[in-house]
Structure 1
Amino acid sequence: MEWIPTSLFRPFCSKTCQLIDLGEWADEAKSIPCGANKDQETIKLPDFDIEDIEAMLSEQSEDFFKE
């Protein structure tokens, strides 16, 4: 296999190898590491009070969802 810019399946040697690699990613056999603890990277969303949300929505104009 010649590794040249015009190689059709570069960086793979063939379509078969390309599909095998794609299948491994799709089956999650391969993954990009996200750190020791995924939960530490989760963004904490603020707590919302349902009554505040309802009050905000009631202040919207009547034609808000109309075209």
Structure 2
Amino acid sequence: METGTVYQHIVTTFNEHPEKVFRVRDLHEHLGLPTDEPSINVTRSRLGRLTRQGFLTQPGRGRYQKRT
């Protein structure tokens, strides 16, 4: 998947499940992405960026949810 496409899939997933709290590994499994540590770290960075932009919140360490 291209970077832009991955972002789109992440945003779409959170939009489709606004009440769900995702851990990074769970999000990867949901999207069918590899669950190796380097891939997880890239997604963790993407989720951090989406959190700083105000799209997501972090209700707990390593957990992400759509900001309502």
Which structure is higher in strand share?
A: 2
Structure ranking higher in helix proportion: 2
Query: TM-score when scaled to structure 1?
Result: 0.26
Q: TM-score normalized by structure 2?
A: 0.26
Q: Which has the higher contact order (CA 8 A, sep 6+)?
A: 2
